[in-house]
Each structure stands twice: as structure tokens, then as C-alpha cells.
Amino acid sequence: MANDFVKTFVQMCNYLQEPCHVARFQNFCGVKGTFPVKTSKPDSGQPEQDSTGLRKRFQQSSDISVGNGATGDAAGAQVNGMQGDNAAAPGAASDPDTARAKPLRRNSLTGDVGQEFLIHNKFLFYLFTFGTELGNEMFFIIFFPFVFWNIDALVSRRLIVVWAWNLFVGQSTKDMVRWSRPASPPVVKVEVFYNSEYSMPSTHAMTGTAIPFCLFMLTYGRWQYPFLFGFGVALSWSVLVCVSRVYMGMHSILEVITGFLYSLLILAFFHPILDKIDSFYMMGHYAPLVIIVSHALGTGAGAALATYVNYQLGLLMDPPLSSLPLTFPSISTSLVFLSLLRFLIGVAVLLVTRMIMKAVTIPFLCRLFGLPSDDVRQARQHMKVELPYRYIVYSVVGFSCVCVVPLLFRILNLA
């Protein structure tokens, strides 16, 4: 019985890991690849690549297989590993409902911009682009400071702890499992990824699940709002991020499900002890040493050190327990203006800090390790430069967010 269960479970995992399911979902959502065609000449039997680089409609016998393991027909062309239509032809971009696109961002280490693809459903493209941004580091670099400066510093501090540990555990698991990204073709790479990064589990799915549900658990009862509203927002956020990773061609279905469940396990472990962790960061005699030694993520380390400094200097602004539950203030012009002003000034400080630290750190590390510093992109391809660079730069950014910027607000009378 146990052996049958294990065998069935392994078979199901292998099935969910297959890239053809990702390709089918992309095709269903209107994403079409422009992979080069390879046909066989009757006289030579050698493949010939179409010079335009786009898949065109061509006649093919029913015994010729396409990229996802399916079989073609006399009228079908392979697009994104699926059977295509006239929209896959070079003239398809003239269709008002079709748009040509490049991957959302290029690889910052290699400069790879990816393969062009066709979008037949613009609404889903923008929806899942928004969804994948909800799990990106850049979103959290904006989201956490906004919550810290304008809404609830305590909630933001604890969210950063959960976010940092999810990323650390998820990335460590990736490096141990070492599963490659879904094969392309048949999968269309709507987003370019680092060649050196593995894919199991999806850290987007992890942070995109842990953060909204942790936000809900930290704020429900602390702030006054309906339970169903908070839970619905958290669930919608999580589902949108998870599904967007399949749409982007970045992860298989199995990797997304694993990331979702993995994050819930990590959240179940950390949520009950978040209060003790936060208290230790503020009052522990050896907190700075423990933070530096234990944190593998620069942003988390910087924010934790700033929490300690804020408490020692009496700069923490947490509301007293007697004031709970908190109520949202009425929206006014002055409130919106001050919130936006704090946010813009704070982000400007963080961007300048990041720019200065980047300009200083990379040449320093290159000199330390005896590497040329004239080509920043080439230097960052060395892990002995890239890893400490990220840790140092984002430690300072995290410290600035939690300590320096709030202190600046006090000086400018914007706190």
C-alpha cells in the first residue's frame, strides 16, 4: 500500500513537472512563441532553419511531432509547442488584438534580452505581468518602506523577517535540488531568467504567498477591517502571483505548488515567534552580532540592525497596546499629500544610497579579489563579487529604510 502511494505520488510529480503543461497554459492564454522552424528535406533528411526566425504555416505530415510531444496536422504550425494558426505568421502583428513583445526584463548579468513572442490576449498579459511584479524584489523594496513610513512600522519589520527567511530557505533549496527551468521550446520565456539560477521551488510563489497571508495574520485584530476582506485579498494576491509564474514560463506547475506549500510551512514556523524575534532585535545585548552572523539576506540584516539602533536611541514609534485595535484614518488631501511626500523623499534617499553603494562596492570587491573593475557586468558574473556586493549594498539600503529615512522625516517635521 505504501509503495503504491509513493509510486503514484512520484508519477504525479513527474507529470506536473513536464514543460508541455506550461506551454499549453501559455497557448490557452494567448502567448505564442516565434521559435525557428526546422524542417527535413526529402533528399537529405537534414533539418533546415527558416531564415526569418519565425514559425510559418507549412504543410507537414501527421507523423511529425511538435515540441510538446503532440502531433501536427496538414494545416498546423508549431507555435509555443502547440498547433498554431495564421496569427503565428510574420504578418500577424497587423492584427489589432495581437502584439509582438520581448521578455519583460533582460538578464542584468549577461545582457540576454530573450526571444520575441506574440501576445493574443493583452488583458491576460497585463494581468499576469502585474501578478509577477507582486512577487518581485523591486515591489517589496517599494512596499515595505511604504508600510513602514505611512501605515505600521511594527507590521513592516515583521514582514521583512518573514520575507528574508522565505527567500533564504527557498534559494538554498533551489541550490540543493538544482532543477532547471522549463525547456524552451516548447515553453515561451515571457521573462528572461539568470542561467545560473535553478527553479525548484518557485521563490516568487513563496514570497507571493507568505507576505500577503502574513500581512493578514499580523493586521487582523490589530487593525479594524472585515475578516473576509483581508483573507480574500491575501488569497487573490497569492493565486495571482503563483499563476503568473506559469504564464511567464518561469516555473512548472509542480514548482509553483511546491513553493506555495513550502511558504505556508515556513510561515507556520515563524509566525508564532515573530514577537520574540522582534523583541530580541530591539533589546538583545548580542543582537547586532547575531544579526550579522545569521542573516544571509542583506535587506533583512540591515533592517534588523536598524531596529536595534532605533530602540536604543528611542526612535521607535510603535503605538501602545492600549490604542489597539487601530482604525484607518479618514482620507484627506493633507494625509495623501504627506504620505506621498514621505514616500517620494524616502525612495529618493534609498535610490541615491543604492547608487552610491553600488559605485563604491563593486570596485572595492574587484580590487580585493584582483579582478578588473572596468566592466561591471563581467565582474558581477563572479560569485565572489556578486554575493558580497548584494549583501553589502542591500544591507545599507535596509538600514537606511528603517533608521536613516525616519530620522530624516523627524528633522523635516514629516514624521
Degrees to nearest 5, angle at CA 34 with 31 and 37:
135
Residues 293, 169: Cα–Cα separation, whole Å:
16
Among this protein's residues, is 251 annotated catalytic?
yes
Query: Which one is catalytic: 21, 251, 295, 382?
Result: 251
Render pLDDT for 70-111 as a digit per residue (tens, 0 to 9).
Answer: 333 333 333 443 434 444 444 444 566 677 666 665 555 555
> Is 143 contained in some domain?
no
- With contact defined as beta carbons under 8 Å apart, do 104 and 174 qualify? no
Kindly tell me the sign of the dihedral angle through the C-alpha atoms of 70, 71, 74, 77. Answer: positive
Q: Which has the minimum average pLDDT: 24-38, 163-177, 188-202, 208-222?
A: 188-202
| Structural domain ending residue among the three candidates 271, 303, 327 | 271
pLDDT of residue 273: 94
Among this protein's residues, is 120 annotated catalytic?
no
Task: Look up residue 237 and give its three cell numbers.
Answer: 494576491
- With contact defined as beta carbons under 8 Å apart, do 32 and 81 qualify? no
What 8-state DSSP symbol labels residue 404?
A: I
Q: Is the pLDDT of residue 261 over 90?
A: yes
Query: Which one is catalytic: 21, 204, 295, 382?
Result: 204
Residues 398, 136: Cα–Cα separation, whole Å:
16
Q: Is the pLDDT of residue 294 over 70?
A: yes
| Structural domain ending residue among the three candidates 271, 304, 337 | 271
- 316 and 257: one domain? no
On average, the pLDDT of the chain sits at 80
pLDDT of residue 43: 47
- Number of domains comprising the chain: 2
Segment of 83-97, 191-205, 375-389 carrying the highest mean pLDDT: 375-389
Residues 28, 12: Cα–Cα separation, whole Å:
22
> Is 19 contained in some domain?
yes
- 264 and 313: one domain? no
> Which residues lie below 8 Å from residue 97, measured CB to CB, with a gap of 6+?
120, 121, 122
Q: Whose CA is closest to 164, among 206, 198, 194, 131?
A: 206
Write down the pTM of the prediction: 0.79
Residues 277, 213: Cα–Cα separation, whole Å:
19
Domain ranges, residue 291: 284-414
pLDDT band at 269 (very low <50, low <70, confident <90, very high): very high
pLDDT of residue 50: 41
Share of the chain above pLDDT 70, in %: 79
Higher pLDDT, residue 28 or 67 = 28
pLDDT band at 31 (very low <50, low <70, confident <90, very high): confident
